[in-house]
């Protein structure tokens, strides 16, 4: 039994090595991104563990078949970047890690809401750009308890975010295509997304990316939102039209945005050793705006998350290779 782990970050290595030792399995790590050129590194291995947001294409799964590799264990939740039909056609079973640490992502969503509600970015800009540091009445913020938070997606992460926002005293409303049977009185479901857009001071996104919600947040929606509204996206970049978001922030259609997931994320973003500078003009513009907090798809990144992502992924590979069917099978 031999497994190879792609896109390995330094923080994952101790957990990978411990798992291999504990299970007496040969596990090899590589920092390279999994694609049609690097798949050759997997020759002779029985399964692949991977973490990336760039595409897993049909050509890649054709290469899986040619190498006789039947198992791919993701170390993340999302599968929107995977050609699932191609995987099926080539006999590749895929698992994900649906709940590595919902609290980690929920905490970042709330942190961003606090940062933006208290206008910390404007204070930092005053210090960094003007080399001034003094009290200013321009930076008057708002309490979370004064605001209505709209949560879209009430899965594990969304529910943790609701608990945290509720703990700060916010009124929480939510929308989900598949609502929970009971909310325990913690929040109120609305019937239509338009209710979230129109009523929320803060909107926090916690749903998977699908064809139906591609660019869900666009110019029309930003116009429908309150002009003091804050958008938090720790879900998927494709849900928000980046160009329309920038226009909305510059024109005052909305007040602020917290962005952890980005459209068209590059392989460099997932490479902890990359030293390349940002060249994307939209990201540069967002990074310079005081009403934006921008992070590199790192909301998940805690010790607990990394441990769970590695351990569950490798456990799934072992179960599949030994003829079992993990509960985390997707597709």
Cα–Cα distance between 7 and 11 in angstroms, integer? 12
* Options 12, 253, 263, 265, the catalytic residue: 265
Of 160, 236, 253, 263, the catalytic one is: 236
Q: Looking at 297, 301, 304, 325, which residue is catalytic?
A: 297
From the list 205, 103, 192, the residue with the least C-alpha distance to 149 is: 205
Maximum distance among all alpha carbons in the chain? 65
- Backbone phi, then psi, for 101, in 5-degree steps? 180, 80
Distance CA(40)–CA(26), nearest Å, equals: 18
CB 250, CB 222: distance < 8 Å: no
For 74, the token pair is 């993701």
Told to judge if 236 belongs to the known catalytic residues of this protein, a careful annotator would answer: yes
For residue 265, indicate whether it is catalytic: yes
Q: What is the DSSP string of 307-320?
A: HHHHHHHHHHHHHH
Residue 221 tokens, joined: 């929606």
Nearest to 26 by CA among 46, 6, 51: 46
3-state helix, strand, coil in the chain (%, to 5): 40, 15, 45
> Three-class SS of residue 181?
coil
**Residues with a known catalytic role:** 236, 265, 297
């Amino acid at each position: 039994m031999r497994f190879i782990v792609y896109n390995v970050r330094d923080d994952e290595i101790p957990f990978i090595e411990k798992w291999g030792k504990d299970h007496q399995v040969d596990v090899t790590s590589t920092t390279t991104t999994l694609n049609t050129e690097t798949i050759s590194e997997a020759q002779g291995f029985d399964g692949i563990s991977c973490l990336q947001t760039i595409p897993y294409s049909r050509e890649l799964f054709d290469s899986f078949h040619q190498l006789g590799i039947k198992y791919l264990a993701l170390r993340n939740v999302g599968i929107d970047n995977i050609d699932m039909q191609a995987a099926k056609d080539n006999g590749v079973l895929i698992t994900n890690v649906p709940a590595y640490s919902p609290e980690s992502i929920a905490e970042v969503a709330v942190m961003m809401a606090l940062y933006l509600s208290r206008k910390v970015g404007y204070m930092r800009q005053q210090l960094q750009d003007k080399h001034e540091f003094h009290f200013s009445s321009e930076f008057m913020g708002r309490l979370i308890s004064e605001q209505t938070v709209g949560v879209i997606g009430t899965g594990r992460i969304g529910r943790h975010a609701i608990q945290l926002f509720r703990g700060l005293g916010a009124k929480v409303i939510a929308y989900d295509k598949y609502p929970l049977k009971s909310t325990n009185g913690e929040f109120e479901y609305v019937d239509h997304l338009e209710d979230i857009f129109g009523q929320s001071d803060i909107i926090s996104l916690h749903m998977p990316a699908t064809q139906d919600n591609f660019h869900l947040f666009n110019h029309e929606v930003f116009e429908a939102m309150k002009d003091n509204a804050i958008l938090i996206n720790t879900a998927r970049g494709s849900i928000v039209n980046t160009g329309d978001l920038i226009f909305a922030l510059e024109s005052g259609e909305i007040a602020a945005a917290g962005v952890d997931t980005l459209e068209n994320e590059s392989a460099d973003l997932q490479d902890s050793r990359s030293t390349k500078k940002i060249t994307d003009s939209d990201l540069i513009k967002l990074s310079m705006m005081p009403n934006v907090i921008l992070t590199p798809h790192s909301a998940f990144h805690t010790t607990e998350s990394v441990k769970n992502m590695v351990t569950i992924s490798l456990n799934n590979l072992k179960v599949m290779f030994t003829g079992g069917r993990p509960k985390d099978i997707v597709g």
